[in-house]
Amino acid sequence: MSSQKKIAIVYDWIDSWGGVERILLAFHEMFPDADFFTSYIDYDKAGWAKNFKIKTSFIQNLPDFIKKNRKLSFPLYPYAFESFNFNEYGVVISVTSSFAKAVITKPDTLHICYLLTPTRYLWLYPKQYLTGWQRLLGKPYFNKIKNWDYIAAQRPDKIIAISQTVADRCKQFYNREAQIIYLGFDINYWNDIKLKVKSEKLKVQLKSKKFYLVVSRLEPYKRVDLAVEVFNQTGKSLFIVGKGSQLGKLKQQAKLNIKFMSDITDQELALLYSQAEGLIMPQEEDFGYVSLEAQFFGCPVIAYGKGGTTETIIPNKTGIFFMVQDAMSLKQALEKYDKIKQVLKQNLKEMGIKGFDKYALDNFKNNFINQLTPISSNY
């Protein structure tokens, strides 16, 4: 491969595991010789990336209390991504929900942005990320960064959104059209997990045979607090799988019927899906990868009826929606769900694997490679 045909893949930060990180693995499979660029990597939390060829920014060398704190490191990210040099690359693929789209490339370099969402804390949920005094004192700088983010979103030659929801946001906030390629769902991998799941033992003993499930990063915009509030009221068992900045706060709020879990295997997660009464998704999702996981294992979904989950859940067939993002609406949805859950589970059983072909990982790979044409034949 000549120097002008090299591929770079840019991601905001590599320090966790989730649906999006699975796609980074897919890019690594598609382009095994590609170099990955990121602001920083935490190898303790991202062992899955140990085989990547990774180049980090100056943020990697900063003390942990800075680089691992999004608010403290926030002003540094524009400089970090604009400092990368891509002169030797023919294609740059930025995968981003915030800063990676801001990289600067030569006119003859193809820059494709795979957009996870426009920057959440700038355009979607600023009040959930900043307190009142932070918004007041930081408003001039906040507006400056919003302007910079808009300009950065004009740099990619092409934007591909992970869902119609994200494409609509891209048009609204960045005034750019985006093609849609859904996040790839690895049907073969999850089917292998399904075959193994019966023999897997959970790290945490399930004391209740009937429980509901939340699988999510524990961040403010995910609104897991709504699930905690409702299950505190109902007394029903709830398992919350995930980590994040809200973990301590949610544990303080939760009663004894709510249990928290993290760092479980995919087999253990699959077992939870297969045994749960239903999956709760109180957030407005960009896509809703977790909803596909749950449905694949026969677990219907109770979701907030806005965002990407409306593209991955068939209402009253594989799940139900609640239309107001508050505890009362979620509680009413759970009461309705309790009456029809067996029908929904039967629907998922009858739908089987074919119901997920639309989101198949192979489709993602083929559709994305097609975006490199007419130069794809050179890679």
pLDDT given for residue 250 in this prediction:
97
Q: Which residues contact 223 (CB under 8 A, 6 or more apart)?
A: 282, 283, 304, 325
- pLDDT over 80 at 318, yes or no: yes
Residues 162 and 259 in one domain: no
Other residues' Cβ atoms within 10 Å of the Cβ of residue 162: 29
Q: What is the mean pLDDT of residues 269-292?
A: 95
Residues 317 and 348 in one domain: yes
pLDDT given for residue 63 in this prediction:
93
Tokens of 100: 């990676």
- pLDDT over 80 at 29, yes or no: yes
Kindly report the pTM of this predicted structure. Answer: 0.89
| pLDDT-derived band at 3, boundaries 50, 70, 90 | very low
Residues 101 and 13 in one domain: yes
Q: Tell me whether strands 301-304 and 279-281 are parallel, antiparallel or unpaired.
A: parallel
Residues 119 and 236 in one domain: no
Residues 53 and 114 in one domain: yes
Residues 374 and 238 in one domain: no
Domain range enclosing 214: 187-357
Residues 278 and 263 in one domain: yes
Residues 203 and 272 in one domain: yes
Q: Note the maximum CA span of the chain.
A: 63
pLDDT given for residue 279 in this prediction:
98
Distance of CA 114 to the CA centre of its chain: 13
Residues 11 and 101 in one domain: yes
Q: What is the mean pLDDT of residues 311-326?
A: 96
Residues 148 and 254 in one domain: no
- CB 34, CB 61: distance < 8 Å: no
Core vs surface per residue 128-149: b (16+ CB within 10 A) or e: ebbeeeeeeeeeeebeebeeeb
**What percent of the chain clears pLDDT 70, i.e. is strictly above it?**
91
Tokens of 91: 């294609």
Orientation angle between helical segments 19-30 and 289-296, nearest 10 degrees: 90
| pLDDT-derived band at 372, boundaries 50, 70, 90 | confident
Q: What is the CATH number of the domain that holds 25?
A: 3.40.50
- pLDDT over 90 at 18, yes or no: no
pLDDT in tens, 101-148: 999 999 999 999 999 999 988 888 766 656 665 566 567 888 899 999
* Coil vs helix vs strand at 215: strand
pLDDT given for residue 376 in this prediction:
45
- pLDDT over 70 at 198, yes or no: no
Q: What is the mean pLDDT of residues 375-379?
A: 45
- CB 281, CB 295: distance < 8 Å: no
Residues 144 and 206 in one domain: no
pLDDT given for residue 139 in this prediction:
74
Looking at the structure of the chain, the number of domains it has is 2
Picking from 100, 38, 40, 36, the residue whose alpha carbon sits closest to that of residue 66 is 40
Ramachandran category for residue 213: left, alpha or beta (phi over 0 → left; psi -120 to 50 → alpha)? beta
pLDDT given for residue 234 in this prediction:
96
Mean per-residue pLDDT of the chain: 90
Residues 42 and 131 in one domain: yes
Q: What is the CATH number of the domain that holds 245?
A: 3.40.50.2000
